[in-house]
Every structure is written in structure tokens, then in C-alpha cells.
Amino acid sequence: MGSCAPTKYKTKNWSSYNDSLKQRGSLSIWFDPEMVWTPPSSGKRGRQRQFSDAAIQTCLTMKVLFGMPLRQTNGLVQSLLRLVGLDWVVPDFSTLCRRQKTQTTLNVNLSYRGSSGPLNLLIDSTGIKAEGEGPLSVMQASPAGQWMHCIKLLGQSLMARDFDRQVAEIQIRFAVLNRYTALGIPVTEPVG
């Protein structure tokens, strides 16, 4: 019994796609001085939050991108803010850890394109796995398997130890990957 040959594709926008791949390696970090780093008063009793969700997400994105512990992330963001001339206070590691912990305290801004079916993530002591219809071994050549490979490029294992912080860390990884993907997507057509 013969099998069908896989379809071959030709990239139609090779020049712009090639330029976008180069941009993915470019390091440009911009801090908008108009960004809300310190949130306005909530009007509730008790201690007010000192840092906005955007400030926390910025720091956690740097943590994921460069694979650093929270204390080193604090130092990196502090030096970046100093380089751009902003005198903002940087969240300390315990604030980052506490705000990363639960979904209710950190709203991660995820830009994404919807899909037709669910994607289930399984996180255990061996790392991140995608589960869908059928076992993972069947999905190794699938788009889900390829995305899981991309996520693992940001680190083979999660740095966070408890489940709530791991969820936030995965959401940050997805946000980073979505931004990288948005830089350029090849336009292909079947050949032959």
C-alpha cells in the first residue's frame, strides 16, 4: 500500500519574510514614558498597589526572554530604565513573585488568533506537553507539536514552583511567541 507524497510549498513573500526573521534577532526595548507604571488609586481601603499590571508583565516578559531569576530580572529592568532616563521604581522580586501567582492579581495581555478547537496543556515534572486528539507522539509533526517546541525554546522547564505562577509564566511565554510570530508570517502556496 503506497502513501501519498507530502505536499511541497513555495514561499511567495520570501524577501519580507526573510527581513522579519532578521528582526526577530534585533534587540530594541522601548519604554513609553506615557505608560502607566504606577496605577491610580483604586478607591478601596488598605494598601494601594504600587505597580500596574503592565509594569509587572514587562518585568516578567524580560524574565522569560532572558531566562533569569526574579532578582536578576529586577536588576536588568532597573538598568534598562536608567539607560532610557526614566526614574521609575522597579518591582522587587517578592512583588513580582506575589503578583505573578494568581490570575486575579495579574491580567496578562495576550494577543492571539482564535482556533477552531481546544488546546490542552499538560504540565508535570518533565515539562510542558500538548494533548489533543490522540497521544503526543502522533502530534510531533503537527502545528501544536511545533508550537510546543517553540515554547520550550524559551526554556525546557518552568522556573516557577507552584501551579498559579506556572500558569502566569506560560501565558507570558505565549505573549512573547505571539509577538515574535506577528513580526512576519510566510505566505505559501502548494507547488506541483
Please report the pLDDT score of residue 134 as a whole number.
40
| Per-residue pLDDT tens digits for 137-186 | 444 465 666 666 666 767 767 777 888 888 888 888 877 777 777 777 77
| Per-residue pLDDT tens digits for 57-109 | 888 888 888 888 889 999 999 999 998 899 999 999 899 988 887 544 555 55
Please report the pLDDT score of residue 79 as a whole number.
92
Full-model pTM = 0.59
Percent of residues, the chain, with pLDDT higher than 70: 70
Q: What average pLDDT does range 7-17 have in this prediction? A: 86
CB 154 within 8 A of CB 145: no
Which of 122, 48, 56, 63 lies closest to 90, judged by CA?
56
How far is residue 52's CA from residue 56's CA, in Å, rounded to a whole number? 7
Please report the pLDDT score of residue 149 as a whole number.
67
Q: Within 13 A of 163's CA, how many CA atoms are on the CB side?
A: 4
Please report the pLDDT score of residue 91 as a whole number.
93
| Per-residue pLDDT tens digits for 109-139 | 544 444 455 444 444 444 444 444 444 444 4
Which of 83, 88, 108 lies closest to 36, judged by CA?
88
> Domain map of the chain by residue range?
47-191
What would the DSSP string read from start to end of 59-116? HHHHHHHHT--HHHHHHHHHHHHHHTT--PPPPPHHHHHHHHH-TTT----------S
Q: What average pLDDT does range 45-66 have in this prediction? A: 85
Please report the pLDDT score of residue 73 as a whole number.
92
